[in-house]
Amino acid sequence: MKLVVVGGVTGGASTAARVRRLDAKAEIVMFERGEHVSFSNCALPYYLGGVVESSDHLLVVTPEDFKRRHDIEVRTRCEVIAINRKSKTVTVKDLTDGRKYEEPYDKLMLAPGASPILPKTIAGIESKNVFTVRNVTDIIALKNYAEKSGVENVVVVGGGFIGVEVAENLCKAGKNVSLIEGTEQIMTPFDYDMVQILHKEMDDHGVKLYLSSTVTAVNAESGSVTAVKEGQIFKVPADLVVMAIGVMPETKLAEEAGLEIGETHGIKVNHNYQTSDPDIYAVGDAVEIFNKMLHTYGRLALAGPAQRQARAAADHMYGIPHNNTGYIGSSCVRVFHQNAAATGLSEKAAAKAGYHFDSVLLFPSDKPGSMPDSHYMGFKLVFEVPTGRILGAQAIGVGAADKRIDVIAAMITMNGTLEDLKELELCYSPVFGTAKDIVNMAALVALNILYGRFTQVHVNQVRPLVESGAYIIDVREADEYNKGHIKGAHNIPLSELREHLDEIPQDIPVYLHCRSSQRSYYALSALAGRGFHNIVNISGSFLGLSLYEYFNDKMTGREPIVTAYNFD
Ligand code: FAD
């Protein structure tokens, strides 16, 4: 058995290592076009901000380690430029001296990844001050340039994971950072209501956000970029530009070899990651995979899936079965002090896919209030109606958002429902969480909605309600109300509710909220028990509403619907 691997990072290195564990005698040759193999792509942005102190720390395994520890031959600076399927060889170009040669294979693994998109339509895109972030060489070049004297203003184009992480790290490195994003929000795995927390966080830390804006030119000489928003052209100062608007799978080799390419432009593979040629496998960012929630094929540029695919493909080469259950898409990111994670379908994605669904938005404490590091966490749970099947979740907070989302990812993978989540027995100590964890609480709230125990409106529906003079009751205490409240809202604290029942109208809908929806839920139950049938909870309550409205109000200069925001 001779395995040839194209691409020496996540998918390629994982395949090579797995094959070695399965077969002590296999000959394994791994080609990598770049200078390094098996580096930590995901840690690259943190080198800019000094979290990763040395670029050496980005290198996980060196070619020498591969040889000594695993008897895997690594050839860096060697690009595979053709696959000759009939002769079962690849043509390799040694980039150090230009020499070309053929290398035979029994099995071939394609793990060439995806390259950053650099649209030719942007004038000046090839300027020396424009960078992308894909590998260690890129990040060293970018950091060196950023550290040159006179480089103060940075524009990051694209608000996905890489753009956001690069923006944060350059900000920490003391740069004046602007982030320009073509759509109305950064971080598409999050719904618009949730992502406002991240918009605010970036804004609070001095990253200037330009949303719904498209960069049309890089003007290296004048140190700016030109962008356009709703037909209005504007310039943003930019001594340095980082392009992070997405990646395109590297399919050229596969295409030229006549391998099938899927509809989403990834290499087409079967459930064992074989391409249309059974001796050629492909994994990672270059392929398209089955999305178990959408029942369609799509691309998912994440490290965990690439590693799992690599192991499954290697196993298949040795007749070890693998049950490919598809992907749900779980990801996390830290934005300054906020940890953000998402799994499965957002509301947006569920709607696009035609699901019947609903969602709940909560802001519970992640630890008991007695603990000094207790913080609220924004948590959104998306579920199918009427089955209660869990479709997705998003969590953002200072605390362990990833832990909550990992739990939900496990539930989704096991086709869990709200009832399962309600019953899920999780560990507890005040050091880590609350006895009824946020995820259990979300299930309880969602079940109340699913079973029709109460109705709700979402934070994005509140502005029209306020503007049309709807009857809103704020059940927080007077001191909380006085610090900031919805304009026109009536303050009847929960503790005094029973004395004020006759003030509450029965003939029109009455909207309730508190700080985080806990007290408004008690109020709602108390009112329902006394025959009030037209009471609606404001999902997310005042905290959710403040976070939802704040950034938009600031950006647009529109009239706030609250007297003051409150984020405590
Ligand atoms: P890669 O790891 O990109 O490896 C492909 C390699 O193939 C490249 O080094 C390329 O040079 C080489 N190659 C291509 N063509 C040839 C050829 N013809 N001959 C020889 N060599 C070739 N994912 C997460 O899950 N979490 C994160 O936090 C995260 N952060 C990221 C941050 C950054 C800055 C980047 C760039 C990526 C991040 N990712 C993250 C994504 C993750 O790194 C990728 O999904 C994963 O590495 C894909 O693995 P791959 O093997 O398909 O491609």
Tell me: the pLDDT tens digits for 174-200? Answer: 999 999 999 999 999 999 999 999 999
Q: Mean pLDDT, to the nearest integer, of 55-60?
A: 93
Give the span between the Cα atoms of 127 and 222, in whole angstroms. 12
398: CA distance to ligand 1 center in Å?
29
Relative to beta strand 240-243, strand 153-157 is: parallel
What pLDDT score was predicted for residue 404? 98
What pLDDT score was predicted for residue 123? 97
294: CA distance to ligand 1 center in Å?
25
Q: How confident is the model at residue 60 (pLDDT cuts 50, 70, 90)?
A: confident
Q: Mean pLDDT, to the nearest integer, of 534-546?
A: 94
Give the span between the Cα atoms of 428 and 420, in whole angstroms. 18
Tell me: the pLDDT tens digits for 364-422? Answer: 999 999 999 999 999 999 999 999 999 999 999 999 999 999 999 999 999 999 999 99
Which ligand 1 atom is nearest residue 252's CA?
18
Mean pLDDT value across the chain: 96
DSSP 305-362: HHHHHHHHHHHHHTT-------B--EEEEEETTEEEEEEE--HHHHHHTT--EEEEEE
Residue 132 in tokens: 């992308």
Which ligand 1 atom is nearest residue 247's CA?
36
To test the pocket of ligand 1, the residue of 10, 115, 299, 327 to mutate (highest count of ligand atoms within 8 Å of its CB) is 10
Tokens 């209501």 found at: 193
| Residue nearest to ligand 1 atom 31, measured at CA | 42
Paired residues of 267 in beta bridges = 261, 287
| Residue nearest to ligand 1 atom 41, measured at CA | 302
Dihedral (C-alpha) 325, 329, 330, 332: value to the nearest 10 degrees?
Answer: 160
285: CA distance to ligand 1 center in Å?
7
Cα 460 to chain centroid distance, Å, stands at: 22
- Which residues line ligand 1 at a C-beta cut-off of 6 Å? 6-7, 9-12, 31-34, 41-42, 44-45, 79-80, 111-113, 133-135, 161-162, 250, 253, 284-286, 301-304, 306
SS3 percent helix, strand, coil of the chain, rounded to 5, is: 30, 30, 40
Q: Mean pLDDT, to the nearest integer, of 86-94?
A: 98
Q: Say if residues 125 and 119 touch (Cβ distance below 8 Å).
A: yes
- SS3 category, 104: strand
pTM assigned to the model? 0.95
Q: Helices (H), strands (E): how many in the chain?
A: 16, 31
What pLDDT score was predicted for residue 126? 96
DSSP 65-92: HHHHHH--EEEETEEEEEEETTTTEEEE
Q: Mean pLDDT, to the nearest integer, of 90-107?
A: 98
- The alpha helices in 205-322, defined as continuous H runs, are 252-256, 303-317
What pLDDT score was predicted for residue 117? 97
Strand ranges across the sheet with 208-210: 130-131, 240-243, 153-157, 176-180, 208-210
Give helix 303-317 / helix 10-22 axis angle, nearest 10°: 30
Tell me: the pLDDT tens digits for 217-245? Answer: 999 999 999 999 999 999 999 999 999 99
Give the span between the Cα atoms of 507 and 514, in whole angstroms. 22
Residue 421 in tokens: 């989540």
* Other CB atoms within 10 A of residue 440 CB: 18
Task: Express as a percent the part of the chain with pLDDT over 90.
Answer: 98
Q: Which amino acid is at 462?
A: V
Q: Say if residues 378 and 547 touch (Cβ distance below 8 Å).
A: yes
What pLDDT score was predicted for residue 455? 93
Asked if pLDDT for residue 568 goes beyond 90, the answer is no
To test the pocket of ligand 1, the residue of 302, 307, 332 to mutate (highest count of ligand atoms within 8 Å of its CB) is 302
To test the pocket of ligand 1, the residue of 6, 42, 80, 91 to mutate (highest count of ligand atoms within 8 Å of its CB) is 42
Tell me: the pLDDT tens digits for 411-467? Answer: 999 999 999 999 999 999 999 999 999 999 999 999 999 999 999 999 999 999 999
What pLDDT score was predicted for residue 265? 96
